[in-house]
């Protein structure tokens, strides 16, 4: 059991945002396995208030990319997972948003576990109504939460990144009572 828990802890600690991809197909079954990881995320009253649009078509990717300052990343990724809050499934906004965060993190860990790269793009929220138009979603039913760009990591470009981001020390943000 110790081995499994240390493997999981290593997986969590080694996950990084990846922004450089090579164009290589990611099998639909692999994407479904990743979505399966998200499916098990916790949600209040088990409402599972998420909706995912998996975008691989170049035209739709370009339409999304035009709505973000990170459009180049979105276009270079094999797929973009466009994550929406399904307002009709939800029951409490704060708990629903927490569930979406857990869902998104579970997807990112699933992507990492499959040896792929991904980055969580929240900046596109500034154009959420335009994203709704792309998918013909009514704003009263679905609300854009983020996009996850995913694909095969361009190791050559990623290895050129010398700067490792620092994490705050635990004692900076915990208190014992």
Task: Please give the radius of gyration of the chain, using alpha carbons only, rounded to the nearest integer.
Answer: 17
Q: What pTM was estimated for this model as a whole?
A: 0.93
Residue whose C-alpha is closest to residue 123's, from 144, 139, 107, 143: 144
Per-residue pLDDT tens digits for 139-171? 899 999 999 999 999 988 887 766 777 889 999
Per-residue pLDDT tens digits for 41-83? 999 999 999 999 999 999 999 999 999 999 999 999 999 999 9
% of residues, the chain, pLDDT over 90: 85
Residue 25, both tokens:
């197909």
> pLDDT at position 162, please?
61
CA distances (Å), origin 26, targets 32, 34, 56, 74, 77: 11, 11, 10, 15, 10
Domain residues of the chain, as ranges? 26-159
Measured distance CA(85)–CA(93) in Å, rounded:
10
The domain made up of 26-159 has a fold known as NADH Oxidase (3.40.109)
């Amino acid at each position: 059991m110790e081995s499994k828990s240390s493997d999981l802890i290593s997986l969590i600690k080694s996950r990084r945002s990846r922004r450089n991809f090579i164009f290589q197909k990611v099998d639909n079954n692999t994407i479904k396995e990743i979505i399966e990881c998200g499916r098990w995320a916790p949600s209040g009253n088990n409402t599972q208030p998420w909706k995912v649009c998996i975008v691989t078509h170049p035209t739709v990717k370009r339409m999304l990319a035009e709505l973000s300052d990170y459009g180049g990343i979105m276009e270079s990724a094999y797929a973009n997972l466009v994550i929406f809050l399904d307002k009709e499934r939800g029951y409490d906004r704060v708990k629903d948003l927490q569930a979406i965060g857990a869902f998104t993190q579970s997807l990112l860990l699933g992507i990492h576990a499959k040896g792929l790269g991904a980055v969580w793009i929240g900046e596109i929220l500034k154009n959420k109504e335009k994203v709704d138009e792309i998918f013909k979603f009514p704003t009263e039913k679905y609300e854009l939460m983020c996009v996850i760009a995913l694909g095969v990591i361009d190791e050559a470009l990623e290895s050129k990144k010398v700067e490792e981001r620092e994490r705050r020390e635990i004692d900076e943000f915990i208190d014992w009572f």
